[in-house]
């Protein structure tokens, strides 16, 4: 029995990286998947991959920083699939800087993409999740929402906010059978993850430095996050809510 058979998932940032991996993993487990994001071409490619494998998918233009765009995309997804069961809040942005060297524009951009976008999507998703009789919201946070790293002030603040929002929503909506959890990876081999590496200077040296910090001895892969998201969306996690899970190869065990 596929773990997500009969379920419908809405995944932001679904065209690349962790979002793409989540979309493909959810489809493999039997879910119908709405992939949402700002860039249409990668979304269409993911939808085509799912269709080619025999699944059902829908690509939707969505800017999570714009409330009307979020509400329209969720409404389209529910109309198309007749229900929504799972939301994966994956869209995000990063800036490598201290508070002193973070511009007003970069602060606003990072908070909007990571925290306000999660708020907009989660709030708009409540009504369709209620109509489905409950469901699961899976936020893709960061280990930097639990601990800090130098030169990541705005990102740490945004992801800490996502972890706090996760706990608050879990308490507010548990009685409606809506579960809310957060996955907190350390650096993952994605476009966004490599962007933060490149901004640090010598990319090759920085990668080796980051690997040395991780007891398991490798960077994360998108599928590492995707399989945790599948679990949290499934009935296997029916008694799990309000938790921010470190997914970091042992980094925060120190």
Q: Which residue is catalytic, options 135, 155, 196, 241?
A: 155
Residue 155 appears among annotated catalytic residues? yes
Interior CA angle at 70 toward 68 and 75, to 5°?
A: 95
- Report CA 4 to chain centroid distance, whole Å: 18
DSSP H or E run through 159: helix 153-173
Structure tokens at 93: 């942005």
Phi, psi of 135 (to 5 degrees): 170, -165
- By DSSP bridging, strand 86-89 and strand 32-37 are unpaired
Sheet holding 178-185, edge to edge: 57-61, 32-37, 8-12, 86-89, 135-140, 178-185, 244-247
What are the catalytic residues? Answer: 155
């Amino acid at each position: 029995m596929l773990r997500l058979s009969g379920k419908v998932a809405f995944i932001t940032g679904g065209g690349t990286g962790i979002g793409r991996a989540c979309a493909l993993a959810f489809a493999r487990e039997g879910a119908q998947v709405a992939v949402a994001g700002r860039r249409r071409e990668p979304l269409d490619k993911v939808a085509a991959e799912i269709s080619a494998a025999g699944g059902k998918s829908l690509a939707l233009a969505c800017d999570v920083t714009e409330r009307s765009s979020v509400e329209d995309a969720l409404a389209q997804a529910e109309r198309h699939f007749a229900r929504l069961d799972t939301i994966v809040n994956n869209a995000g942005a990063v800036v490598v800087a201290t508070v002193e060297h973070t511009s007003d524009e970069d602060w606003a951009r990072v908070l909007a993409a990571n925290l306000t976008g999660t708020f907009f999507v989660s709030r708009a998703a409540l009504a369709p999740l209620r109509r489905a009789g409950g469901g699961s919201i899976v936020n893709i946070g960061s280990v930097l929402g639990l601990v800090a790293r130098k030169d990541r002030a705005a990102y740490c603040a945004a992801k800490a906010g996502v972890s706090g929002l996760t706990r608050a929503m879990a308490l507010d909506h548990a009685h409606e059978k809506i579960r809310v959890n957060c996955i907190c990876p350390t650096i993952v081999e994605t476009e966004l993850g490599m962007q933060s590496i490149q901004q640090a200077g010598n990319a090759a040296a920085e990668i080796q430095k980051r690997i040395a910090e991780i007891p398991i001895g490798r960077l994360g892969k998108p599928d590492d996050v995707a399989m945790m998201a599948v679990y949290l969306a499934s009935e296997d996690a029916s008694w799990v809510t309000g938790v921010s899970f470190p997914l970091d190869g042992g980094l925060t065990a120190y």
